[in-house]
Amino acid sequence: MRKDLHEANRLSWNAATVAHNSHKGDQAAFFRNGGSTLFPEEVELLGEIRGLSLLHLQCNSGQDSLSLARLGADVTGVDISDEAIAFARRLSHESGIPARFEREDLFAWFEQAADGQRSFDRVFASYGTICWLSDLDAWARGIARVLRPDGRFVFMEFHPFAMVFNERWQPFYDYFDKAPVEEDGVGDYVAESGTGLTPGEHETGMVDFRNPHNSYEFYWGVGEVVSALIRAGLTLERMEEFPFANGWRGFEGMRDIGGRRMVPPEGMPRIPLMYGLVARKRP
């Protein structure tokens, strides 16, 4: 486990979160007016969550967490970024949607939760999460430990096959490389995605953001994710692959085909851009 790299990522995310939220307008008003940041795919995988306790891993600034709380779940969000958690707590207060937000490195949080015998009906994580984690088995074991019997883990993530390409759709990254990849910090992907990641009101916000803190990413294949969950004692119930990316314009020429679903330019073959799964803890 590379806690030193997790700490570097915390600093990088603190800087990037300010830039990201600068583009999203009055988010409290968006939620007060009934807004939601969720996409149909994760709602369908989660199923009915009203009255259930739900743990949202790497919740970022809490927008999806509050959208889940609005569906009736008792939500706890966890994230490593101080800035993200502070923003999420303010947004919860200003929007009037109750949720708990806790700042901690995820692996440390799992240990604390196990010591406190905390448990949840659902555990949820989505979009650009596991690439920041240095130990996939520890992640899967942590999920299994905090799930209640018959509880479910729901995961939606960008497909690792797409991550072999650079922004110009050129093969660049090694799918099987296990060494951490150093980058020039978490970028302003919210600005680059335009209205794709700002369902309320898109604002110009910060311009030409440059992160002063480098970041480190880890590449995990689909087989590694599934195997880690199985080794942790969970049962895979469902897995889906999608030829579009929700909200994120991560590559040149991506097109919105409706519903903020982004696909490659005309003429390119369809490739998997996202996948989702559901894993259950046996009673």
Q: What's the pLDDT tens digit per position in 176-216?
A: 988 999 999 998 878 888 777 777 777 788 888 999 999 99
The per-residue pLDDT for 258 is 94
What was the pLDDT predicted at 188? 86
Query: pLDDT value at position 192?
Result: 82
pLDDT given at position 218: 94
Q: Give the pLDDT confidence of 64-86 residue by residue, as tens digits.
A: 999 999 999 999 999 999 999 99
* The predicted structure's pLDDT at residue 190: 86
**Which residues, listed in sequence order, are joined to residue 235 by a DSSP beta bridge?**
280
pTM (predicted TM-score)? 0.93
Nearest-angstrom CA–CA distance, 257 and 243: 11
pLDDT at 196: 79
How many other C-beta atoms are found inside a 10 Å radius of the C-beta of residue 31? 24
pLDDT of 198: 75
pLDDT of residue 38: 96
- Looking at residue 171, its pLDDT comes to 94
Helix axes 82-95, 3-21, angle to 10 degrees: 40
Tell me which residues of the chain have a pLDDT lower than 70.
none
Contact 45, 276 (CB under 8 A): yes
pLDDT at 178: 86
Domains of the chain: 3-281 (3.40.50.150)
Q: Identify the CA nearest to 80 among candidates 144, 27, 23, 2.
A: 2
Cα–Cα distance measured from residue 194 to residue 198, given in angstroms and rounded to the nearest whole number = 7
Question: What pLDDT, on the 0 to 100 scale, is given for residue 239?
Answer: 97
DSSP 3-state percent helix, strand, coil across the chain (nearest 5): 35, 25, 40
